[in-house]
Protein backbone atom coordinates (compact mmCIF):
# COMPACT_ATOMS: atom_id res chain seq x y z
CA UNK A 1 0.00 0.00 0.00
CA UNK A 2 2.80 2.36 0.82
CA UNK A 3 4.30 1.78 -2.61
CA UNK A 4 0.94 2.51 -4.26
CA UNK A 5 0.48 5.67 -2.25
CA UNK A 6 4.00 6.81 -3.17
CA UNK A 7 3.36 6.11 -6.86
CA UNK A 8 0.12 8.13 -6.84
CA UNK A 9 1.91 10.99 -5.15
CA UNK A 10 4.59 11.03 -7.83
CA UNK A 11 1.95 10.96 -10.56
CA UNK A 12 0.19 13.98 -8.98
CA UNK A 13 3.47 15.89 -8.66
CA UNK A 14 4.38 15.23 -12.31
CA UNK A 15 0.91 16.32 -13.45
CA UNK A 16 1.16 19.54 -11.46
CA UNK A 17 4.58 20.28 -12.92
CA UNK A 18 3.32 19.74 -16.48
CA UNK A 19 0.37 22.04 -15.88
CA UNK A 20 2.64 24.79 -14.56
CA UNK A 21 4.98 24.41 -17.51
CA UNK A 22 2.13 24.80 -20.00
CA UNK A 23 0.89 27.91 -18.20
CA UNK A 24 4.35 29.47 -18.19
CA UNK A 25 4.82 28.74 -21.87
CA UNK A 26 1.48 30.35 -22.63
CA UNK A 27 2.36 33.44 -20.60
CA UNK A 28 5.78 33.70 -22.20
CA UNK A 29 4.22 33.43 -25.65
CA UNK A 30 1.78 36.25 -24.88
CA UNK A 31 4.53 38.34 -23.34
CA UNK A 32 6.75 37.89 -26.38
CA UNK A 33 3.90 38.86 -28.69
CA UNK A 34 3.10 41.98 -26.70
CA UNK A 35 6.70 43.10 -26.34
CA UNK A 36 7.76 42.34 -29.92
CA UNK A 37 9.15 45.42 -31.73
CA UNK A 38 7.06 46.11 -34.88
CA UNK A 39 8.92 46.10 -38.14
CA UNK A 40 8.94 49.63 -39.80
CA UNK A 41 7.63 49.52 -43.34
CA UNK A 42 9.82 51.85 -45.50
CA UNK A 43 7.92 54.81 -47.04
CA UNK A 44 8.74 55.10 -50.72
CA UNK A 45 10.52 58.34 -51.55
CA UNK A 46 8.76 60.72 -53.92
CA UNK A 47 11.21 61.42 -56.74
CA UNK A 48 12.16 65.07 -57.07
CA UNK A 49 11.25 66.23 -60.56
CA UNK A 50 14.17 67.49 -62.57
CA UNK A 51 13.91 71.21 -63.29
CA UNK A 52 12.99 72.10 -66.83
CA UNK A 53 16.14 73.50 -68.38
CA UNK A 54 15.89 77.10 -69.51
CA UNK A 55 16.67 77.23 -73.21
CA UNK A 56 19.65 79.32 -74.17
CA UNK A 57 18.42 82.45 -76.00
CA UNK A 58 19.30 82.66 -79.68
CA UNK A 59 19.91 86.29 -80.49
CA UNK A 60 19.39 87.60 -83.96
CA UNK A 61 20.86 90.83 -82.67
CA UNK A 62 21.70 92.18 -79.21
CA UNK A 63 23.58 95.38 -78.42
CA UNK A 64 23.65 98.32 -76.03
CA UNK A 65 25.76 100.20 -78.61
CA UNK A 66 28.53 100.64 -76.07
CA UNK A 67 30.10 97.25 -76.60
CA UNK A 68 30.51 94.76 -79.40
CA UNK A 69 27.13 93.39 -80.55
CA UNK A 70 26.05 89.80 -80.26
CA UNK A 71 23.91 87.98 -82.74
CA UNK A 72 23.47 86.13 -85.95
CA UNK A 73 23.61 89.23 -88.12
CA UNK A 74 27.37 89.10 -87.70
CA UNK A 75 27.38 85.70 -89.38
CA UNK A 76 25.79 87.25 -92.44
CA UNK A 77 28.73 89.61 -92.95
CA UNK A 78 32.09 88.85 -94.40
CA UNK A 79 34.84 88.05 -91.92
CA UNK A 80 36.61 91.40 -92.29
CA UNK A 81 33.44 93.41 -91.65
CA UNK A 82 32.45 91.24 -88.71
CA UNK A 83 35.87 91.67 -87.12
CA UNK A 84 35.64 95.42 -87.61
CA UNK A 85 32.28 95.55 -85.85
CA UNK A 86 33.50 93.41 -82.95
CA UNK A 87 36.54 95.61 -82.35
CA UNK A 88 34.88 98.98 -82.88
CA UNK A 89 31.34 99.41 -81.54
CA UNK A 90 31.04 102.76 -83.31
CA UNK A 91 30.60 100.85 -86.57
CA UNK A 92 27.71 98.74 -85.34
CA UNK A 93 25.25 100.75 -87.44
CA UNK A 94 26.75 99.08 -90.50
CA UNK A 95 24.36 96.22 -89.77
CA UNK A 96 21.46 98.63 -90.35
CA UNK A 97 20.09 100.60 -93.26
CA UNK A 98 17.65 103.43 -93.82
CA UNK A 99 14.10 103.38 -95.14
CA UNK A 100 13.16 106.54 -96.98
CA UNK A 101 15.11 109.75 -96.67
CA UNK A 102 17.67 110.41 -93.97
CA UNK A 103 20.52 108.43 -92.51
CA UNK A 104 20.93 105.78 -89.83
CA UNK A 105 23.96 106.77 -87.81
CA UNK A 106 25.69 106.24 -84.49
CA UNK A 107 24.96 108.81 -81.76
CA UNK A 108 27.77 109.10 -79.25
CA UNK A 109 26.58 110.07 -75.78
CA UNK A 110 22.94 110.25 -76.87
CA UNK A 111 21.84 106.90 -75.44
CA UNK A 112 19.36 106.23 -72.67
CA UNK A 113 22.02 106.30 -69.96
CA UNK A 114 24.24 108.92 -71.52
CA UNK A 115 25.81 106.19 -73.60
CA UNK A 116 25.73 105.51 -77.32
CA UNK A 117 22.75 104.58 -79.46
CA UNK A 118 21.40 104.42 -83.00
CA UNK A 119 20.02 107.62 -84.47
CA UNK A 120 17.90 108.24 -87.56
CA UNK A 121 18.09 111.82 -88.81
CA UNK A 122 16.95 113.75 -91.88
CA UNK A 123 13.52 112.08 -92.03
CA UNK A 124 10.76 113.57 -94.20
CA UNK A 125 7.86 111.15 -93.50
CA UNK A 126 6.55 109.12 -90.60
CA UNK A 127 7.58 105.85 -92.27
CA UNK A 128 11.21 106.92 -92.76
CA UNK A 129 13.47 105.14 -90.30
CA UNK A 130 16.16 102.62 -89.43
CA UNK A 131 15.80 99.27 -91.18
CA UNK A 132 17.06 95.74 -90.60
CA UNK A 133 16.74 93.43 -93.59
CA UNK A 134 15.82 89.91 -92.41
CA UNK A 135 17.85 87.14 -93.98
CA UNK A 136 15.52 84.68 -95.80
CA UNK A 137 16.86 81.80 -93.72
CA UNK A 138 14.95 83.31 -90.79
CA UNK A 139 11.59 83.53 -92.54
CA UNK A 140 8.87 81.70 -90.65
CA UNK A 141 10.43 82.67 -87.32
CA UNK A 142 9.23 84.79 -84.45
CA UNK A 143 11.31 87.68 -83.16
CA UNK A 144 11.03 88.70 -79.52
CA UNK A 145 11.93 92.38 -79.64
CA UNK A 146 12.91 94.70 -76.79
CA UNK A 147 14.38 98.21 -77.02
CA UNK A 148 14.38 101.73 -75.60
CA UNK A 149 13.37 104.45 -78.03
CA UNK A 150 12.39 108.06 -78.29
CA UNK A 151 11.47 110.68 -80.87
CA UNK A 152 12.93 114.17 -80.72
CA UNK A 153 11.23 117.01 -82.58
CA UNK A 154 12.66 120.48 -83.12
CA UNK A 155 9.13 121.82 -83.59
CA UNK A 156 7.02 123.28 -80.80
CA UNK A 157 3.85 121.54 -79.72
CA UNK A 158 4.80 118.07 -80.93
CA UNK A 159 3.92 115.52 -78.25
CA UNK A 160 2.88 111.88 -77.90
CA UNK A 161 4.83 110.53 -80.81
CA UNK A 162 4.56 106.80 -81.47
CA UNK A 163 7.95 105.15 -81.78
CA UNK A 164 7.75 101.60 -83.02
CA UNK A 165 9.51 98.65 -84.51
CA UNK A 166 7.31 97.30 -87.27
CA UNK A 167 7.58 94.79 -90.08
CA UNK A 168 7.19 95.18 -93.81
CA UNK A 169 7.26 92.59 -96.55
CA UNK A 170 5.62 91.39 -99.73
CA UNK A 171 3.99 87.98 -99.66
CA UNK A 172 3.03 85.54 -102.41
CA UNK A 173 -0.72 85.51 -102.99
CA UNK A 174 -2.77 82.41 -103.81
CA UNK A 175 -2.56 83.13 -107.52
CA UNK A 176 1.24 83.08 -107.31
CA UNK A 177 1.72 86.83 -107.74
CA UNK A 178 3.40 89.12 -105.25
CA UNK A 179 1.40 91.43 -103.03
CA UNK A 180 2.20 95.05 -102.49
CA UNK A 181 4.27 95.91 -99.43
CA UNK A 182 2.25 95.30 -96.26
CA UNK A 183 2.71 96.46 -92.69
CA UNK A 184 0.70 94.20 -90.31
CA UNK A 185 -0.68 96.40 -87.54
CA UNK A 186 -0.50 93.67 -84.89
CA UNK A 187 3.05 92.82 -85.85
CA UNK A 188 4.96 95.57 -84.07
CA UNK A 189 6.40 96.80 -80.77
CA UNK A 190 5.35 100.33 -79.89
CA UNK A 191 5.52 102.99 -77.21
CA UNK A 192 4.40 106.60 -76.91
CA UNK A 193 7.26 109.05 -76.51
CA UNK A 194 6.58 112.55 -75.31
CA UNK A 195 9.03 114.80 -77.06
CA UNK A 196 12.52 113.73 -76.04
CA UNK A 197 11.49 111.13 -73.42
CA UNK A 198 12.66 107.53 -73.54
CA UNK A 199 10.05 104.78 -73.64
CA UNK A 200 10.59 101.02 -73.35
CA UNK A 201 8.99 98.88 -76.06
CA UNK A 202 8.71 95.13 -76.39
CA UNK A 203 6.62 92.56 -78.22
CA UNK A 204 6.96 89.45 -80.36
CA UNK A 205 6.55 89.81 -84.11
CA UNK A 206 6.86 87.23 -86.86
CA UNK A 207 7.84 86.94 -90.49
CA UNK A 208 5.72 84.51 -92.55
CA UNK A 209 7.38 81.87 -94.68
CA UNK A 210 5.74 82.77 -97.98
CA UNK A 211 7.71 85.96 -98.62
CA UNK A 212 8.41 87.45 -102.03
CA UNK A 213 12.16 87.72 -102.55
CA UNK A 214 14.23 89.52 -99.93
CA UNK A 215 11.51 92.00 -98.98
CA UNK A 216 11.16 91.30 -95.25
CA UNK A 217 12.42 94.03 -92.93
CA UNK A 218 12.16 95.05 -89.33
CA UNK A 219 12.38 98.80 -89.01
CA UNK A 220 11.93 101.71 -86.63
CA UNK A 221 9.63 104.59 -87.43
CA UNK A 222 7.98 107.49 -85.63
CA UNK A 223 4.35 108.43 -86.26
CA UNK A 224 1.91 111.10 -85.07
CA UNK A 225 4.59 113.73 -85.36
CA UNK A 226 5.48 115.68 -88.50
CA UNK A 227 7.75 113.11 -90.05
CA UNK A 228 10.91 115.09 -89.39
CA UNK A 229 11.66 113.91 -85.87
CA UNK A 230 14.92 112.19 -85.01
CA UNK A 231 14.55 108.60 -83.82
CA UNK A 232 16.91 107.26 -81.16
CA UNK A 233 17.16 103.53 -80.37
CA UNK A 234 19.12 101.96 -77.51
CA UNK A 235 19.48 98.57 -75.79
CA UNK A 236 18.15 96.62 -78.72
CA UNK A 237 17.53 92.89 -78.28
CA UNK A 238 16.05 90.73 -81.05
CA UNK A 239 15.70 87.12 -79.93
CA UNK A 240 14.67 84.31 -82.26
CA UNK A 241 11.68 82.25 -81.08
CA UNK A 242 9.40 79.65 -82.65
CA UNK A 243 5.67 79.18 -82.43
CA UNK A 244 4.73 82.83 -82.87
CA UNK A 245 2.10 83.35 -85.51
CA UNK A 246 1.76 81.47 -88.75
CA UNK A 247 0.79 82.17 -92.30
CA UNK A 248 -2.86 81.21 -91.70
CA UNK A 249 -3.12 83.86 -88.99
CA UNK A 250 -1.58 86.34 -91.36
CA UNK A 251 -4.11 85.50 -94.10
CA UNK A 252 -7.01 85.71 -91.64
CA UNK A 253 -5.92 89.16 -90.60
CA UNK A 254 -5.66 90.42 -94.15
CA UNK A 255 -9.02 88.92 -95.05
CA UNK A 256 -10.51 91.66 -92.86
CA UNK A 257 -7.96 94.43 -93.42
CA UNK A 258 -7.01 95.70 -96.82
CA UNK A 259 -3.21 95.72 -97.24
CA UNK A 260 -1.61 99.13 -97.10
CA UNK A 261 0.58 99.27 -100.15
CA UNK A 262 3.76 101.33 -100.31
CA UNK A 263 3.24 104.59 -102.14
Residue 115's pLDDT is what? 85
Give which of 110, 136, 137, 135 is closest to 121, Cα–Cα. Answer: 110
Other CB atoms within 10 Å distance of the CB of residue 66: 16
Q: Can you give the pLDDT at residue 67?
A: 78
What is the spatial distance between Cα 184 and Cα 182, in angstroms, rounded to a whole number? 6
Residue-level length of the chain: 263
Instruction: Give the model's pLDDT for residue 251.
Output: 59
- The whole-number pLDDT of residue 74 equals 66
Q: Does domain 58-256 have CATH number 2.60.120.260?
A: yes
Q: What is the pLDDT of residue 10?
A: 47
Residues 142-165 have pLDDT tens digits of 888 999 999 988 777 777 788 888
> Taking a C-beta distance cutoff of 8 angstroms, is the pair 122, 183 a contact?
no
The predicted-structure confidence for 11-29, as pLDDT tens digits, reads as follows 445 455 455 445 455 455 4
Residues 152, 196 contacting (CB under 8 angstroms): yes
DSSP 72: G
In angstroms, the CA 73 to CA 86 distance is 12
Residues of the chain with pLDDT under 50: 4-8, 10-12, 14, 17, 20-21, 23, 26, 29, 93-94, 245, 258-263
* Calpha distance 67→21 (Å, rounded): 97
The structure's pTM equals 0.68
- A 10 A CB-CB count for 81 gives 14
Amino acid sequence: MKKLALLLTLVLIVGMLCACGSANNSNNSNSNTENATPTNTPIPETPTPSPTPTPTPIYYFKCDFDSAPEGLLLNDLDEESAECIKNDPTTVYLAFGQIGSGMADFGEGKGKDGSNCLVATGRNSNWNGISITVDPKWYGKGFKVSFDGKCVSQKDGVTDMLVSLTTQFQYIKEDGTASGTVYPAYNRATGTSSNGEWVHCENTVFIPTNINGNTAQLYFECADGRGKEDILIDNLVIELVDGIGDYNAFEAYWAEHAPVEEE
